[in-house]
Amino acid sequence: MRSRKISLGLAVIAAMSLAACGGTSGPNSTSASKDLLAEIKQSKVVTIGTSNDEPWSAVKDGKADGIVPDLIREYLKRKGIEAEVRSTPMPFDSLIPALTSGRIQVMGDAMYRTPEREKHVAFTDVLFYNTEGLAVAKGNPLGIQDLAGLCGHTGATYKGTIWAESLKKASAACPGGKQITVKVYGTIYEAFQDIQTGRVQGVLADASIAALAIKQNPNLNMELSAGYAPDKQDSDNALAVAPQNRAFVDDFSAVFKEMKADGTVARIFENAGLSPADTWLEL
């Protein structure tokens, strides 16, 4: 949702992609200076990337679905642009390389703004706050309330997140011989499945995604640790585009401010089941 997610390797890949592609802004771009909004208006398509994480952004029945696609649709509507929001699913750690290489035009998922990422992409203003949660086995039989509770056990997250480093840092503070075994999965759902199998005792993940997964699939036999208290201040999420398209993010940010002020954003969140919306929209 996710998450302050970018490793040095991803940063290098993103930088290489920018150099290799000359900074094209979309799959059919012919000029780095071409205005993204004009491009969308002409093609009647905006291509976004998603890691398929409901309720934020996913592909359902071949169509872009979720809060972020709906925010983009509302923005286009207010700009008087008729365009399909077309979503391309991929692993979360592929979103920035896909954006900088021109495979997608907008990073249409839940992503934390970080200084490292801002070296490679242009972010909008903050759209919402989405903290992480600590998923544990149902009933929390080990009584895990924080990362220190994972000492001597296995903690996990998924590729592209900053949470692997959080687990490693927590492990370094564990008493001797009781470090956290850190596992990094390809997707959030693989990590959740291993809570059920007992291979993992705690998973750091987007709290909203984890809560929805628990609701939709009780057979996961997991819950969010009630004692885990993340810092909301560090969970600001935004859209991203290639660096040369800063005019787009400035315009989106201005229109989003209007959408938020008139209650449209809150309605989109609550229609997606995130209620009260201010939980995600305000610090």
List the domain boundaries for the chain.
8-129+235-281, 132-230
Is residue 112 within 8 A of residue 118, CB to CB? The reply is no
* Each residue's pLDDT tens digit, 175-223: 988 999 999 999 999 999 999 999 999 999 988 888 888 888 899 999 9
User: Residues of the chain with pLDDT > 90: what percent?
Assistant: 72
Tokens of residue 60, six digits? 């359902």
- Confidence band of 33 (pLDDT split at 50, 70, 90): very low
CA distance 56 to 210: 12
User: Residues of the chain with pLDDT > 70: what percent?
Assistant: 88
- Residue closest to 223 by CA, chosen among 206, 204, 208, 210: 210
Is residue 170 within 8 A of residue 147, CB to CB? The reply is yes
- The answer for residues whose C-beta is within 8 angstroms of residue 162's C-beta and 6 or more apart is 3, 4, 5, 6, 112, 114
* Each residue's pLDDT tens digit, 36-61: 999 999 999 999 999 998 899 999 99
CA distance 202 to 214: 14
Tokens of residue 145, six digits? 């309330």
- Confidence band of 6 (pLDDT split at 50, 70, 90): very low
- The answer for residues whose C-beta is within 8 angstroms of residue 232's C-beta and 6 or more apart is 129, 131, 283
Q: Give the mean pLDDT of the chain.
A: 88
In this prediction, residues 148-156 reach a mean pLDDT of 98
Residue 234 DSSP SS3: helix
Domain 8-129+235-281 CATH (choose: 3.40.190.10, 3.20.20.300, 3.90.1150.10, 3.40.50.1100): 3.40.190.10
* Each residue's pLDDT tens digit, 212-238: 888 888 999 999 998 998 888 889 999
Q: What DSSP letter does each residue of 99-113 carry, written as one string?
A: HHHTS-SEE-S--B-
Tokens of residue 70, six digits? 């709906």
The per-residue pLDDT for 103 is 97
The per-residue pLDDT for 229 is 87
Q: In the block, which residue shows the tokens 């600001």?
A: 236
- Residue closest to 197 by CA, chosen among 163, 221, 223: 221
The per-residue pLDDT for 96 is 95
The per-residue pLDDT for 211 is 87
The domain over range 132-230 is classified in CATH as 3.40.50.1390: no
Q: Which of 10-19, 26-35, 75-84 has the lowest mean pLDDT?
A: 10-19
- Confidence band of 29 (pLDDT split at 50, 70, 90): very low
Tokens of residue 214, six digits? 């628990």
Q: In the block, which residue shows the tokens 């200076």?
A: 33
